[in-house]
Amino acid sequence: MIKAAIFDIDNTILKGKSSERIFIRYLREKGIITYMDILRFIFTFLVKLFSFRGLYIKNNKSYLKGKDNSVIKEAARDCFRDRVISFISREALAEIQKKRESGHVIVLLSGTLDVLIEQFKEYCGADIALGSNLERCNGRLTGELQGIHPYGCGKALVLQDLASKMQIDLSNSYGYADQYADVKFLCLLGHPVAVNADLGLKIYARIKGWSTMDF
C-alpha cells in the first residue's frame, strides 16, 4: 500500500482565495462569459432553491453552458499564469515538497474546475489532481458536472474511490483542508491537518487533537 498527502486548494494552497471566483472574474473581463450567462447562473440557483433541491451554488456551473471547451481550457491556462500563481502559498509548496521527499504520493483534491486543477497539478508537481469534472458534449460545455462533485461528503467519496483504486493506506496518509465542510474527508485520514481553518474546523480540530497549520 502507498501513502499519500492530499491537499485541498481554495484557501489551503491558495490562501484566502477561491480559484473559481478568480476565473469567473477573468472570463467576464475577457468577454468570454456575458451578463446573460451570469443571469442564467442566478436563475438556475433560484430554481433549485425554490424547488427544494438545496443550495447547489457550489456545483452550479450554468454560467459556462454552451462555451467552447478549447476556449475555456486556454483561458484557464492564461488566468492561472496571470492571476492565480501569485496567490499560491510558498509555505504550501514547501509542505508539498517535504511530503514528496518523505515518499508520499501528492494528491490535489478540490471542488474547483477540472480545467483549473490541471494547472495546479503541473505547477505544484502533484501526482494526481481531482476536481469538478465539467460535462462536455460535441466540444462544448453543458453547464453540468459529470460524476461526483468533490465537496463536503462528495470529497470523502472521491477519496475513498481513489484509495480503493490505487491501494492508498489512508491511515498512513495526510490530509490538508481549511473548512468544516471538509471534516468527513479529513476523518478518513490518519493524519488530518486543519490549514487556515475556519471557526468550525478550528473548534473541531481542537476537540479531536488534530494538527493545525497556517500557510
Residue 99 is placed in which grid cell? Answer: 511530503
**Which pLDDT does position 55 carry in this prediction?**
47
Model pLDDT for residues 10-56, shown as the tens digit of each residue: 999 998 899 999 999 999 999 999 989 888 888 777 776 655 554 45
Q: pLDDT per position in the chain (215 positions), as tens? A: 999 999 999 999 998 899 999 999 999 999 999 989 888 888 777 776 655 554 455 678 989 999 999 999 999 999 999 999 999 999 999 999 999 999 999 999 999 999 999 999 999 999 999 999 999 999 999 998 999 999 999 999 999 999 999 999 999 999 999 999 999 999 999 999 999 999 999 999 999 999 999 99
| Number of structural domains in the chain | 1
CB 108 within 8 A of CB 126: yes
Task: Assign residue 44 the CATH number of its domain.
Answer: 3.40.50.1000
| pTM of the complete model | 0.91
**Spatial separation of the C-alpha atoms in residues 215 and 182, rounded to whole Å:** 17
Instruction: Name the residue range of residue 95's domain.
Output: 4-213
Count of Cβ atoms closer than 10 Å to residue 25 Cβ: 13
